Amino acid sequence: MELRYGINPQQQPADATPVRPGRWPVRVVRGSPSYINMLDALNGWQLVYEASRVLNRPAAASFKHVSPAGAAVAGAVDDVTAELHGVQQHDVGPLTSAYLRARDADPKSSYGDFAAVSHPVDAELAASLARVVCDGVIAPGYAPGTVGTLAKKKNGRFLVMEADPAFVPPERETREVFGLRLAQQRDEVPLAATLLENVVCGALPTTAAEDLLLGLVVLRHTQSNSVCYLRDGMTLGIGAGQQSRVDCTRLAGAKADTWWLRRHPAVRALAFRPDIRRQDRINWQIRSVEGDLTPDESTRLSRALSQPREALTGSSRAEWTARLKGVAFVSDGALPFRDNVDHAQRHGVRYIAEPGGSIRSAEVEDACREHRITLVRTGLRLFHH
């Protein structure tokens, strides 16, 4: 398959070839994928396919640059997400709910995402995808008429790909880097509830266990180092590709706080002019939440509003963030220091899953007991590079 270009436009020609001649895991229904499109599609499909099988619900992911900006399984769409996407909160179908919840985890990063869903795209999801800035979608099928709906996006350049759920990848994976061919056994360890049986301290309710399982699936397909915060079957913040694990924890924690603060009455009360586009509204909501507007930004935000905004003070921020509870936290590698736990608990974390095996694992356990956090040791590292 000829690709539009490689990782960068100057890297041409570029192509994709099946490892087993004639056996393709995906097919292009419409559009012309680039190298990165293909990576996002293949990683995204593996994530949602595995998440759906593990949790027995439709799953969706919003991918950017080979890591998910958000991922979720089907569930309740809250009024903030429903209002943002112009849908009726209680009338959203399972597959659409999964994608809207995945995209709402980090809607700033999801701008221009690649969507992945575990079930065939229906008319409702196609209509939702048509209303957001998205570069493509991969799914195991498409209901009649949905490809036509999606084909109108991006002046006909929207990428539509179909995955083969029956495809079985080779047991060995290879890649070429600077003249070397590297090979390894594919990571096929099942992600199941048995991985959560080693509860070191605290209690693990079923809903928290499901969130931890979803987190394990998400991190299996996220660039390492990586951690994620989850609640109610959706990610609230993902930290990917950082050299320091605690930096991942702080980055993802800030995203979780932003997700929660977008639900603060002062943020919801921002009265934008009718001509302000959805993504601009999202970006202004996030900037107002972050609280470090430059003078120029303050002026431009005021011009985007039809009435003055209520300032989100430090005390009101602290009071609101303290309400975020019951959050699950998953790390793809062992927590090397207790600082990860200390930072995680500031963002409502009550359940942690990590491989264990660090020379400071006892300190990590002590921190969890101190903060009354349930600690689960999986014994499984999930690095992805």
- Asked if domains 2-168 and 188-260+324-377 share a fold, the reply is yes
Residue-by-residue DSSP string for 278-304 = HHHHHHHHHHHHHT---HHHHHHHHHH
Domains of the chain by residue range: 2-168, 188-260+324-377, 264-320
The CATH code of domain 2-168 reads: 3.40.140.20
Marked catalytic residue, from 64, 153, 255, 347? 64
pTM, two decimal places? 0.96
Question: Percent of the chain at pLDDT above 90?
Answer: 92
Please indicate whether residue 340 is annotated as part of the active site.
no
**Structure confidence at residue 381 (pLDDT):** 97
pLDDT in tens, 237-246: 999 999 999 9
Marked catalytic residue, from 90, 155, 325, 385? 385
pLDDT in tens, 58-84: 999 999 999 999 999 999 999 999 998
Please indicate whether residue 65 is annotated as part of the active site.
yes
Marked catalytic residue, from 37, 85, 221, 225? 225
Question: Does residue 280 surpass a pLDDT of 90?
Answer: yes
**Structure confidence at residue 154 (pLDDT):** 85
Mean pLDDT across 242-257: 96
Which of 240, 266, 277, 233 is CA-nearest to residue 255? 240
**Structure confidence at residue 76 (pLDDT):** 95
Which CATH number applies to 188-260+324-377: 3.40.50.150, 3.90.25.10, 3.40.140.20, 3.90.1150.10?
3.40.140.20
Please indicate whether residue 64 is annotated as part of the active site.
yes
Residue-by-residue DSSP string for 16-85 = ---SSTT--SEEEEES---HHHHHHHHHHHHHHHHHHHHHTS-EEEEEETTEEEEEEES-PPPHHHHHHH
Please indicate whether residue 385 is annotated as part of the active site.
yes
